[in-house]
Amino acid sequence: MLLRKAKNNLNEWRRRNNKKCLIVRGARQVGKTYLIRDFGREYYEEVLEINFKETPGAADIFSGDLNVDSIINAMKFSYRDKQLIPGRTLIFLDEIQECSEALTSLKFFTDDGRFDVIASGSMLGIDHNRASSYPVGYVEYIEMYGLDLEEFLWSQGIDGGMLDSIREMYEKRRVVPEAIHRELMKCLRLYASLGGMPEVVWQYVQTGDIRVADKIQRELLLGYRYDIAHYATAEEKVKAEKCFLSLSKQLLDKENHKFQYKEVEAGSRAQKYYSSIEWLIKADVAGICRSVTDISYDLDDYARNDLFRLYTSDLSLLIAMKDYSLKKLIYDNSLEGNTKGGLYECVMADILQKKSYAMYYYKNDTTKKEVDFLIQKGGKVIPIEVKGGNAKATSLNSLKKKWPKLNECYKFVDGNVGISENGIITLPLYMAMFL
């Protein structure tokens, strides 16, 4: 079984008094259903699960009055083997985006307070079957992703105690012993090959066969394409899929990773495709990294909507867009040039997205100096440069001269820990999980 941090979030929610209903959001196949089932079995005497995609007729339970007594009575008739006991039963409403009335009912379950209710769905950010009365203020949210790098390392037998020792090296800026460093970089490359989709990782854990994992990755990618066809409007279907499938070319095949519409369709412009980009972001299929004109807090005030990079929500999807031979090159550490730099940049984006950071980047149009990522923490801007090797951080050096208040700057490399004379902190790529 794969260990997930989100289970701790669920348990914290369970222990709260006067809690609201919980919505677990996230893209398809990131492990929402499995996690909630496992949590329910462990902490409740009874779990009533309704999956509105598997059982569309279950929507009839919510077709009448939405007061809790009416809904519970309807559930008792439909699921006679279940004992719905207040305080000891978890009601799990899966794929809730398929039943707008069930989504609306969460308001009344929160007001009533007798039953713990968790809902989950994979397309809750888009206007598909939107409820007439969305339960704003009556629900809490947990955002779920595929496995992050730390969870992936757990799956590879690197336990919390071992990672605590690496975290201490990160905090004290100590060089990692070479044997440990070599093994962690090997795991990072494996993560770059597999991504964090639970089924992909679990099959690799079970079989040790990267070809099995590759097959599942491609099936998942196909499933995402089907979701675009199912949930996107008629106007957006083809355009959103084209934008999505262009990402491997945008990020791995060229030096400039800015999203370019010409890579989607020759001669195309933002006017035609920007709404499709927005759809992919709202559907949790992709994450955006916007260019900024100034490196000052709050970066959102300086962000541009016309210049951005777009990353898949999980590396599994990106790698499945490329030929299988790419996996061997990654694992053998024989990637070179733009592809290696682009891949490690995508690994960093994956790590930052799964830590819920908003992502930005900066490029000086005059000097062409570019900083790969900017994040914000505690009211401070933190620049991050990613290197496929261990080259000098010329862009970061230039940035520090222009904005001397930037006292926390990171260069993540295919190398070990080091601190340059001007205060730029050099760290191995895997240490980004501790940011």
Clarify whether residues 299 and 243 are in a common domain.
yes
Clarify whether residues 414 and 380 are in a common domain.
yes
Pairing between β-strand 418-419 and β-strand 425-428 as defined by DSSP bridges: antiparallel
Clarify whether residues 243 and 356 are in a common domain.
yes
Residue 181 dihedral angles phi and psi, to the nearest 5°: -60, -45
pTM of the complete model: 0.93
What CATH number should be reported for the domain holding residue 91?
3.40.50.300
**Which pLDDT does position 132 carry in this prediction?**
52
> Of the residues 101, 116, 143, which one is the last residue of a structural domain?
143
Pairing between β-strand 370-377 and β-strand 380-386 as defined by DSSP bridges: antiparallel
254: in domain: yes
Element (H, E) at 311: strand 303-312
Quote the tokens at residue 371: 């900083």
173: in domain: yes
**Which pLDDT does position 128 carry in this prediction?**
47
66: in domain: yes
Clarify whether residues 351 and 381 are in a common domain.
yes
User: Domain tally for the chain?
Assistant: 2
Q: Which residue, among 139, 147, 149, has the nearest Cα to 118 in the 3D structure?
A: 139
CA distances from 345 to 250, 389, 429 (A): 12, 12, 10
Clarify whether residues 168 and 123 are in a common domain.
no
Residues of the chain with pLDDT under 70: 127-133, 421
Clarify whether residues 24 and 157 are in a common domain.
no
Domain that holds residue 397: 149-434
**Which pLDDT does position 421 carry in this prediction?**
66
> Of the residues 143, 168, 184, which one is the last residue of a structural domain?
143
Clarify whether residues 126 and 157 are in a common domain.
no
> Of the residues 127, 143, 159, which one is the last residue of a structural domain?
143
Clarify whether residues 79 and 209 are in a common domain.
no
In the block, tokens 């790698």 appear at 319
70: in domain: yes
Clarify whether residues 261 and 299 are in a common domain.
yes
399: in domain: yes
Q: What is the pLDDT of residues 98-112, one digit of tens each?
A: 999 999 999 999 999
135: in domain: yes
1: in domain: no
Clarify whether residues 123 and 162 are in a common domain.
no
Clarify whether residues 120 and 153 are in a common domain.
no
Clarify whether residues 154 and 136 are in a common domain.
no
Cβ distance 381 to 406 under 8 Å? yes
311: in domain: yes
